[in-house]
Chain A
Amino acid sequence: MLRPDINDLLTQTGPGTPMGDLFRRYWQPVLHTDELPSDGCPPVRVKILSERLIAVRTPEGEYGLMDEFCAHRGVSMFFGRVENGGIRCPYHGWKYNADGQAVEVPSELNNSEFCKNVKLRSYPLVKVGDILWAYLGDPDKRPPLPTWEFATVPSGQTFTSKRLQESNWLQALEGGIDSSHVTWLHGGGPTGAGLEADPLFAGSKGNQYNKGDLKPFFEVVENDGGLLIGARRNAEEGHYYWRVTPWVLPNFTMVPPRGDHPVHGHFWVPIDDENCWAWSFDYHPTRDLTEAEVSAMEDGAGVHSKNIPGTYRPVANKDNDYLIDREKQKTGELFSGVEGIAIQDSSLQESMGPIVDRTKERLVATDAGIIKARQKLRRAVEALRDHGTEPVGNIPEHQRIRSVAIVLPADQPFVEGIGDGFQAREGVRQTTV
C-alpha cells in the first residue's frame, strides 16, 4: 500500500510538481525520427510532462521544440508554415526561429525591437539513434546526451516503436519491473503456449525455467543508477535461473534476454498525469536484426504493438476491450484472451483506471521491486526538492547497462555471478540463456 500523499507525489509530473522537476533533469525520448522525416516537413504536436509543445525541423535541418501556441493570441503553431529559419503563424504572420525566438512581427513598425521581447518557451531537441530526445529542465543542469546502448548501436541492430498508454506513467513502470506477472499473463500460466508462440521469444531455454517454476523468489539490489531486480527460479539440480531487470531512474527498464533474440526494454514517458508513451526498443549488441525480426516487430510482435495507421494508439484498445477472445482465454491458447505482450500489459494496466488508488492495493513478497523502486523514486524527488540534490541515472555510467538471464550455482549471489554482464560493452554479446 502507498500513502495517498506519496501516490500524488509520484504520479504528478506537470510543471512545478516535485516529480515533474525530477523528470526535468533527464533527456526523455519525445519523437521517433520518422515523425519529422525531412528538412522543412510539417511540424508535429508533442505533449510531454503535461506541456503542450510543437516540434519543427527547419528547411536547413535544425530541430526545435517550443510552446505549441503563438505568443500573439494563442493559435496552435501546428497550423504554422515551416519556412527558412523557422515557423510562421498563419494567423498574422508572426515568425519564430527553432529556438522559439520571434524574428518577425510584420504588423509592427519597429519590428526588430518588438521581436526582442517575444520568445516562446523552448527546449533542446536532439537526435541520438532513431530518436529525438528533449530536455525540459534548467539549462544549467543539462546532463550529457543519452548513451543508452539501444540508441547508440549501428542502426541496423536496433528497432524502436511507441504506443499510447492510457494510464499514469507509474502504473506502466511498475509493470516493467514486475517480472512475476510474466509467467502468468505472458507465459500462459501452467497450461498455455505463452511466450513460445511469439517469434521474438520462442526457443529459449529460459521459457522452460519460467514455466517450470511459478513461484519466483525476488531479490532487489541497489545499483548506482537505480535497482537490479532479480527473479530467481529453479533450474537444474543445485542451480537457479536468474532473470535480472535493471531499472534506471526515473523511467527506463530492460527486460532480461531470451536466447539470442534481440534484447528489449522500455521508456515510460508521462504525456500528462493520465497518459504515457510506452517506448519499446529491441536491439542486438553484436549483430544486425534479421529481416524476419524487423518485420515481426513492425507487425507488433514481441514488446511492440499493432497501432491504428497514422497514430500510436493500438488497434486493440480500451474502447474495444482490447479485442479479448474469450474462447482462446477458455482454451488457454491465450491465457488472458488478449493478443500480444504489449496489449496484454496495457489492457490490465489501463483497467486499473488512469491513476490507481494505491492505498487499496495488497502487495505480496514478489512486489519487492515495486516497493523498492517507489521508495528510491520518492527519496530522489524529495532530495531534489528539499536539498537540490541532483538525481542519479542521467549520466553515461548509469546508462550503459544491460539486462541479464543466467543460470548460476545455488549458493552464488546473482550480482557476483553476473559481474560485468550488466555492463554494455561494444562488440560483446549479451549474457543470456
Chain B
Amino acid sequence: MPKVVYLANDGDERVVDATSGENVMSAAVRSGVPGIVGECGGQLSCATCHVWVQDPFREQVGGPGDMEADLLDLGVSDYTEASRLGCQITITDEIDGLVVEPRPEAWH
C-alpha cells in the first residue's frame, strides 16, 4: 500500500495510505486533506487539486499534459515547473512515499 505525504503550510505532514491505481486528488479528498478540493471530480476541467510535486519525485511523476497545462495556466496563480493537478497523478508502488504540497487558491 503506497503512501502519499501531503505537506501543509505550517510544515506539518499528512501521510495517507493510498491504493495503487488511485490518484493524488482522490486519496486526499477521501482522507480530508486540507487544500485539495477536487471540484470537478477528476474530469480535467478545474484546477482545485493543484499540487507542487517535491523532489526527488518530480522526474518520475513527469510534467502536465496539454489540457492539464492549460488549466494550470488559466486557473492558478503559482504555476511552476513543480505543478501538477493531483487528479492526473496515478499513485503506484514505484512512487511510494510521494511528497506533494497542496496549493489552494484564495478563490477556491
Minimum Cβ distance to chain B for residue A135 (Å):
29
| A359 interfacial contact with B, CB 8 Å | yes
A359 nearest in chain B by CB position? B107
B-facing residues in A328-385 (Cβ within 8 Å): 359-360, 362-365, 367-368, 371-372, 374-375, 378
| A3 interfacial contact with B, CB 8 Å | yes
Q: Given A2-B75, A4-B107, do A368 and B39 touch, yes or no (CB 8 Å)?
A: no
- Which residues of chain B are near A6, meaning CB under 8 Å? 74
- Which residues of chain A are near B46, meaning CB under 8 Å? 1, 362-363
- Counting chain B CB atoms within 10 Å of each CB, the highest count among A3, A360, A362 belongs to A3
The CA-CA distance from A360 to B71 in the complex, in Å, is 15
Q: Given A1-B107, A359-B107, do A368 and B74 touch, yes or no (CB 8 Å)?
A: no
- Which residues of chain B are near A371, meaning CB under 8 Å? 45, 67, 70-71, 74
The CA-CA distance from A367 to B75 in the complex, in Å, is 14
- B72-108: CB near A (< 8 Å → 1, else 0) gives 0111110000000000000000000000000000011
- Counting chain B CB atoms within 10 Å of each CB, the highest count among A363, A367, A372 belongs to A363
A367 nearest in chain B by CB position? B45
A362 nearest in chain B by CB position? B39
State how many residues of chain A have any CB contact under 8 Å with chain B.
18
The CA-CA distance from A362 to B75 in the complex, in Å, is 11
| B44 interfacial contact with A, CB 8 Å | yes
The CA-CA distance from A58 to B22 in the complex, in Å, is 71
The CA-CA distance from A363 to B45 in the complex, in Å, is 6
By the criterion CB–CB under 8 Å, are B45 and A3 in contact?
Answer: no
Which secondary structure dominates where chain A touches chain B? helix
Minimum Cβ distance to chain A for residue B35 (Å):
16
Tell which of B45, B70, B77 touches A365, judged by Cβ atoms closer than 8 Å. Answer: B45
- Which residues of chain A are near B43, meaning CB under 8 Å? 364-365
By the criterion CB–CB under 8 Å, are A363 and B70 in contact?
Answer: no
Minimum Cβ distance to chain A for residue B10 (Å):
26
| B1 interfacial contact with A, CB 8 Å | no
Minimum Cβ distance to chain B for residue A392 (Å):
18
The CA-CA distance from A4 to B48 in the complex, in Å, is 15
- Which residues of chain A are near B74, meaning CB under 8 Å? 1-3, 6, 371, 374-375, 378
Minimum Cβ distance to chain A for residue B37 (Å):
10
The CA-CA distance from A371 to B46 in the complex, in Å, is 10
Tell which of B44, B48, B67, B77 touches A3, judged by Cβ atoms closer than 8 Å. Answer: B77
A360 nearest in chain B by CB position? B107
Q: Given A359-B107, A362-B46, A363-B45, do A368 and B67 touch, yes or no (CB 8 Å)?
A: yes
B107 nearest in chain A by CB position? A359
Minimum Cβ distance to chain B for residue A218 (Å):
10
Tell which of A2, A363, A374 touches B40, judged by Cβ atoms closer than 8 Å. Answer: A363
The CA-CA distance from A3 to B48 in the complex, in Å, is 12
By the criterion CB–CB under 8 Å, are A365 and B44 in contact?
Answer: yes
By the criterion CB–CB under 8 Å, are A3 and B70 in contact?
Answer: no
A10 nearest in chain B by CB position? B74
- Which residues of chain B are near A365, meaning CB under 8 Å? 40, 43-45
Minimum Cβ distance to chain B for residue A361 (Å):
9
Minimum Cβ distance to chain A for residue B94 (Å):
29
B70 nearest in chain A by CB position? A375
| B49 interfacial contact with A, CB 8 Å | no
The CA-CA distance from A367 to B71 in the complex, in Å, is 12
The CA-CA distance from A93 to B58 in the complex, in Å, is 73
The CA-CA distance from A368 to B45 in the complex, in Å, is 7
B108 nearest in chain A by CB position? A1
The CA-CA distance from A1 to B77 in the complex, in Å, is 12
A-facing residues in B22-50 (Cβ within 8 Å): 39-40, 43-48
B45 nearest in chain A by CB position? A363
- Counting chain A CB atoms within 10 Å of each CB, the highest count among B67, B73, B75, B77 belongs to B75
- Which residues of chain B are near A378, meaning CB under 8 Å? 73-74
The CA-CA distance from A368 to B66 in the complex, in Å, is 12
- A288-329: CB near B (< 8 Å → 1, else 0) gives 000000000000000000000000000000000000000000
Q: Given A4-B107, A363-B46, A364-B43, do A372 and B70 touch, yes or no (CB 8 Å)?
A: yes
Minimum Cβ distance to chain B for residue A18 (Å):
16
The CA-CA distance from A2 to B44 in the complex, in Å, is 14
By the criterion CB–CB under 8 Å, are B75 and A1 in contact?
Answer: yes
Q: List 18 A-B contacts (CB under 8 A).
A: A2-B75, A3-B75, A6-B74, A359-B107, A363-B40, A363-B45, A363-B46, A364-B40, A364-B43, A365-B44, A367-B45, A368-B67, A371-B70, A371-B71, A372-B67, A372-B70, A375-B70, A378-B74
B residues apposed to A, CB below 8 Å: 39-40, 43-48, 67, 70-71, 73-77, 107-108
Given contacts A364-B40, A364-B45, 13 further A-B contacts (CB under 8 A): A1-B46, A1-B74, A1-B75, A3-B74, A3-B77, A6-B74, A359-B107, A360-B107, A363-B40, A367-B45, A368-B67, A371-B45, A374-B74
A residues apposed to B, CB below 8 Å: 1-4, 6, 359-360, 362-365, 367-368, 371-372, 374-375, 378
Closest 3 CB pairs of A and B: A359-B107, A375-B70, A365-B43
